[in-house]
Amino acid sequence: MTQTPVPVRRALISVSDKTGLLDLARALVAHGAEILSTGGSARTLREAGVPVTEVSDHTGFPEILDGRVKTLVPQIHGGILGRRDLPAHVAQMEQHGIAPIDLVAVNLYPFEATVASGAGVEDCIENIDIGGPALIRAASKNHDHVVVLTDPAQYGAIIAALSEGGTTLEARRALAGAAYARTAAYDAAIAAWFAAQRGDALPERLTVAGQRRESLRYGENPHQQAAFYADGSKRPGVATARQIQGKALSYNNLNDTDAAFEAVAEFDAPAVVIVKHANPCGIATADSLSAAWDLALRCDPVSAFGGIVALNRTLDAEAAARIAAIFTEVIVAPDATDEAREILARKKNLRLLLTGAMPDPAEGGVIIRSVAGGFLAQTRDNGRIVPGELKVVTQRAPTEAEMADLTFAFRVCKHVKSNAIIYAKGQATVGIGAGQMSRVDSARIAAIKGAEASRAAGLDQSLTAGSVVASDAFFPFADGLEAAIAAGATAVIQPGGSIRDDEVIAAADRAGIAMVFTGMRHFRH
């Protein structure tokens, strides 16, 4: 292996994305390289006056099977794979008239884009590239002697290297690694598509790939490295959003923003979610975003300071002014009016993200979490209760208003870390208990939060008085329910299923409150 620059005497170019093609080709020709090409790439070069040799003319073998076979021949792969430092390889190449190929520039058929466009099965299959990955992998394997380019963003560095006599081993090795990552991601997308075709969300071999969108300053803590990757899916959220203003997002910002936006998507009416450390500290729906903001903020104004705010409507000027009145890290919404953007522009450090659309909470997908030695995968929690299907288990049934609040509170539960207890009233949270080891502790903490919010609002009575309460999982004992009753809850929604359900129901009946079972749990760990 030589460390001196290696010149390019012959290059093979076959690209679907023609970005930068002419600049690369002209630089190669200017430095004495012969260019081999196929189909549309060759046509583009000829029309631009760049000298080019068709692969079929170089190999003496025509393209066949509607272009499915054009580079899968010994004259091409032998030229790429032959080692220039092995006399036996050189002799065999000369014996069979195989000319060395020193650079391969290939980007693959747009399979991912074809799938994303909603194309049919036949079109998707026709956009599975076969020759391209084979060329890329061959060139990558023989990177001691061959340059492999898989992205137009790589062309500039190679054009500069040509002027310096050629490429270094270090550069070729880096390009080879990037090339294998590209073919791995391509194969992962194809495998995922095939799994989706047969409705297999969790196949025997689960392949995961991502494109790095951004290197982050650090992870959850400054001593941790971090990066932000996009998986190519089109679900509206942090990976698809445009950042309109503000400094770069941190790892924690991204995590919290995702949590907030997924939560606010649960609601049909104008809604606001405030998140702090991945947990909502206030959620409300109302007739307007500004009214929803006021209600969400009232739930926990202390925790809301420095929080993440998500909205499910176009952000208007009134709501923007109210949100901007306190320190906010991030605002994420599908869109924002010009007036709202102007108001927020005065807050230079506030990040404004616009997604263009809302995610569908009923849509499927796979959630992945790493563990030592592997990872866990599960389908997205897209369960949603239907009020008419809830089971009333107490002597008293909920009122219509209570049922509306119970449904609202249980939707909130889905987005609060377990053990989750939610007090709600008037389609707004008035107390949230999250992430406790004991459910009764969550009930008490949520009540304390409600009392603190009441004092902050100058109210004589706790916000939790006359509220409903939701639990993400069953009450294992009556004590958690009794804590909610003591806080003023008048109706309860919970999954049910505890061996002590009768004990819990009896406690509700003694207090004269209503209770419904959902039969659905919303653990979030």
How would you write 48-102 as a 3-class SS string?
Answer: CCCCCEEHHHHHCCCCECCCCECCCCHHHHHHHHCCCCCHHHHHHHHHCCCCCCC
CA distance 370 to 377: 9
Using only C-alpha atoms, what is the Rg of the chain?
30
CA distance 238 to 255: 9
Burial of 238 per CB tally in 10 Å (0-12, 13-18, 19+): buried
- pLDDT the model gives residue 3: 65
Residue with tokens 């949100």: 323
Average pLDDT over residues 171-179: 94
pLDDT of residue 2 exceeding 70: no
**Is 344 among the domain residues?**
yes
Provide the 3-class DSSP secondary structure of residue 299.
Answer: helix
The overall pTM is greater than 0.75: yes
Instruction: Let me know whether 37 and 156 are in one domain.
Output: yes
Percent of the chain with pLDDT over 90: 74
**Is 361 among the domain residues?**
no
Instruction: Let me know whether 136 and 36 are in one domain.
Output: yes
Residue with tokens 């760049």: 50
Instruction: Let me know whether 350 and 485 are in one domain.
Output: no
Instruction: Let me know whether 397 and 346 are in one domain.
Output: no
Percent of the chain with pLDDT over 70: 99
Provide the 3-class DSSP secondary structure of residue 301.
Answer: helix
**Is 376 among the domain residues?**
no
For residue 184, give the nearest of 196, 176, 194 by alpha carbon. 176
Report the mean per-residue pLDDT for the chain. Answer: 92
Question: Which of 34-38, 190-194, 286-290 is predicted most confidently?
Answer: 286-290
Provide the 3-class DSSP secondary structure of residue 432.
Answer: strand
Contacts of 240 (CB under 8 A, 6+ apart): 230, 234, 355, 356
Instruction: Let me know whether 88 and 183 are in one domain.
Output: yes
Contacts of 113 (CB under 8 A, 6+ apart): none
- pLDDT the model gives residue 480: 93
Name the amino acid, one letter, at 496. Answer: G
Q: Could you report the per-residue pLDDT of 198-238, keeping only the tens digit for each?
A: 989 889 888 888 889 999 999 999 999 999 999 888 899 99
**Is 220 among the domain residues?**
no
Does 31 qualify as catalytic in the annotation? no
pLDDT of residue 1 exceeding 70: no
CA distance 493 to 359: 26
Rounded alpha-carbon distances, angstroms, from residue 408 to 326, 384, 492, 524: 26, 11, 12, 17
Q: Which of 141, 276, 347, 449 is catalytic?
A: 141
Q: Report the residue count for the chain.
A: 525
- pLDDT the model gives residue 139: 94
- DSSP letter for each residue of 363-431: ---EEEEEETTEEEEEE-------GGG-EE-SSSPPPHHHHHHHHHHHHHHTTSPSS-EEEESSSBEEE
Instruction: Let me know whether 331 and 407 are in one domain.
Output: no
Provide the 3-class DSSP secondary structure of residue 269.
Answer: coil
- Helices and strands per DSSP (H, E), number in the chain: 19, 21
Does 141 qualify as catalytic in the annotation? yes
Total structural domains within the chain: 3
Q: Which of 143, 277, 425, 449 is catalytic?
A: 277
Angle at the Cα of 43 (from 171 to 93), degrees rounded to 5? 55
Interhelix angle 169-197/131-141, rounded to 10 degrees, is 150
First-residue to last-residue Cα distance in the chain: 51
Instruction: Let me know whether 142 and 189 are in one domain.
Output: yes
For residue 420, give the nearest of 434, 430, 408, 431 by alpha carbon. 434
Instruction: Let me know whether 191 and 318 are in one domain.
Output: no
Average pLDDT over residues 245-266: 96
Any idea what the CATH number is for the domain that residue 65 is in? Answer: 3.40.50.1380
Instruction: Let me know whether 190 and 72 are in one domain.
Output: yes
Instruction: Let me know whether 350 and 402 are in one domain.
Output: no
Average pLDDT over residues 185-203: 91
Q: Could you report the per-residue pLDDT of 352-373, keeping only the tens digit for each?
A: 999 999 999 999 888 999 999 9
Strand-pair category, 211-216 with 147-149: unpaired
**Is 260 among the domain residues?**
yes
Provide the 3-class DSSP secondary structure of residue 133.
Answer: helix
Range of the domain at 241: 235-354
**Is 524 among the domain residues?**
no
**Is 5 among the domain residues?**
no
Instruction: Let me know whether 94 and 167 are in one domain.
Output: yes
Any idea what the CATH number is for the domain that residue 268 is in? Answer: 3.40.140.20
Cβ atoms of 434 and 420 closer than 8 Å = yes
**Is 506 among the domain residues?**
yes
Q: Which of 145, 168, 197 is the last residue of a domain?
A: 197
Instruction: Let me know whether 434 and 500 are in one domain.
Output: yes
Tokens of 298: 């009232």
